[in-house]
Amino acid sequence: MQVSVESLGNLERRMSFSLPAERLDTHIGGRLRELARTARIKGFRPGKVPQKVIEQRYGQQVRAEALNGLLRETFDSAVREQSLQLAGNPRLEPAGEGELEWVATFEVVPDFGNVDVAQLKVVRHVAEVADADIDQMIENLRLQRRTFQPVPRAAQQGDRVALETWSQAGDERLPAEGVEKGATLIGSGVMYPDIENALVGLAKGEEKDITVNFPADWRVAQLAGRQVQVYLKVTEVSESVMPEVDKEFVRSFGVKGGDLEQFRSDIRTNLERELKGALMTRLRREVGEQLIAAYSHVEMPPRLVENEARAMVQQQVEQAQRNGQQVQVPADAHEGFKDAARKRVLVGLLVGEVARSNQLRLDPKRLNETLRLIASTYEEPEQVIELYRNDPQLMNGLQGRVMEEQVIDWIAERAQHTEQPLSFQEAIRQ
């Protein structure tokens, strides 16, 4: 195999190579003979279809499949032969009119030298789930299951208040006619704080008008940055009724028999899973910051950085769409993400380099534990496990995540690290 590589820049390369014609012909011939034995074509008995008919029917498809497979195989072999480390995906193009001569353009991983993780100084946060954290979670679950009972008294913090409202902003009335009807939980922050606070002390049927100075970034465009007269009328006040933590309450969360201790045990397991993820996120960020500080001078592959910046823009757009927002994205929006993208690429390449240079391999036990941990959050864990094992894309994503965490742990263990204890609440607050 003839291969030539030229530099287009510090980190960009162009490789010219040719596919072995005899291997292509051999693969195509073998696949066509296999089809001749198994193909079912009207007018012919199985295994008796003439070769010419097979070639007419399947030849083009088989050739395309064989060419794609051989192209990737030959390119990968050439990369290994030239001892190249690719950063991102290559761009493969025909070198001429024929199908055997190809050109690949790609970026390579920069030379980090000897990545000495022992020089890094890492703060490793530690935390445990306490009984008080379980108590707080049970209280949160009670809040989720609370009901509301109308009361004749004035509203106070924690009450749900049904109300009618309208506003006057200069010459503009909102709504133009009638009133807006709604409800809010005082202290929830659903309505503007000044409005919620004004409801305290009002009973059913009572009215009040207040002056509100809305901030410039307020979500209602007609009110943003304006001084507005807001008119309020309370139509009902309801107080919350908290459920008792009894067998019925416990059973409602899937604990058979309503056993309280089992309920607390299940909560502890869930909180420990959440805590483990939060601590790993903190450690990943801590190690990442140290790697960035130590290797920020190293040039990054520009195309890889740009692709990462565009991916970050797309993530934000998709998040906004999930929240029901319509977003107009300028063509150059990715430019504002390039600094963050560069840092993300730098950490990713360094983690990969540490894994490669230290011959780190994915720990099957850790992978299995992570998969079972993910599955345990679903009602049918075994089905989730089976889904991952039968979906290469899902499994590849999981393997990448577990491998990254494994390398981050490896770096942190060998760095100069100190432990910083946190409470559960502090740890999960990212």
User: What are the boundaries of each domain within the chain?
Assistant: 3-108, 117-131+251-428, 147-241
Which parts of 313-359 are beta strand (E)?
none
Query: What's the pLDDT score for residue 1?
Result: 63
Distant-in-sequence, close-in-space partners of 407: CB < 8 Å, separation ≥ 6: 351, 354, 355, 360
Average pLDDT of the residues in 21-29? 87
pLDDT band for position 168 (cuts 50, 70, 90): very high
pLDDT band for position 267 (cuts 50, 70, 90): very high
pLDDT band for position 366 (cuts 50, 70, 90): very high
Query: What's the pLDDT score for residue 300?
Result: 95
pLDDT band for position 223 (cuts 50, 70, 90): confident
Domain 3-108, CATH among 3.30.1280.10, 3.10.20.30, 3.30.70.1050, 3.40.50.360: 3.30.70.1050
Average pLDDT of the residues in 398-419? 94
Percent of the chain with pLDDT over 70: 100
* Alpha carbon distance 282, 429 (integer Å): 10
Q: Is the pLDDT of residue 241 over 90?
A: yes
Q: What is the pLDDT of residues 176-195, one digit of tens each?
A: 999 999 999 999 888 899 99
Q: Is the pLDDT of residue 364 over 80?
A: yes
Residue type, position 291, single letter: L
Average pLDDT of the residues in 224-235? 94
Average pLDDT of the residues in 93-119? 90
* Alpha carbon distance 152, 253 (integer Å): 33
Q: Is the pLDDT of residue 51 over 80?
A: no
Q: What is the mean pLDDT of the chain?
A: 91
Lowest-confidence segment of 33-42, 200-209, 226-235 by average pLDDT:
33-42
Query: What's the pLDDT score for residue 2?
Result: 77
Lowest-confidence segment of 24-38, 96-110, 374-388 by average pLDDT:
24-38
H or E element at residue 237: strand 227-241
**Burial letters 347-357, b for 16+ CB under 10 A, else e:** bbbbbbbbbee
* Structural class in CATH, domain 147-241: alpha beta
Query: What's the pLDDT score for residue 415?
Result: 94
Query: What's the pLDDT score for residue 150?
Result: 96
Which CATH superfamily, name and number, covers 117-131+251-428? Trigger factor, C-terminal domain (1.10.3120.10)
> Around Cβ 26, how many Cβ atoms within 10 Å?
13
What's the pTM? 0.77
Query: What's the pLDDT score for residue 367?
Result: 95
Query: What's the pLDDT score for residue 33?
Result: 82
How many secondary structure helices (H) and strands (E) does the chain include?
12, 12
CB 154 within 8 A of CB 203: yes
The three-class DSSP label of residue 25 is helix
Residues in a beta bridge with 4 = 16
Distances (CA, A) of 274 to 34, 129, 142, 178: 52, 10, 20, 47
Q: What is the pLDDT of residues 307-331, one digit of tens each?
A: 999 999 999 888 888 888 777 888 8
Distances (CA, A) of 248 to 260, 356, 406: 10, 54, 42
Q: Is the pLDDT of residue 156 over 80?
A: yes
Query: What's the pLDDT score for residue 345?
Result: 95
pLDDT band for position 410 (cuts 50, 70, 90): very high
Q: Is the pLDDT of residue 377 over 90?
A: no
Q: What's 145's DSSP letter?
A: T
Q: Is the pLDDT of residue 48 over 80?
A: no
CB 142 within 8 A of CB 245: yes
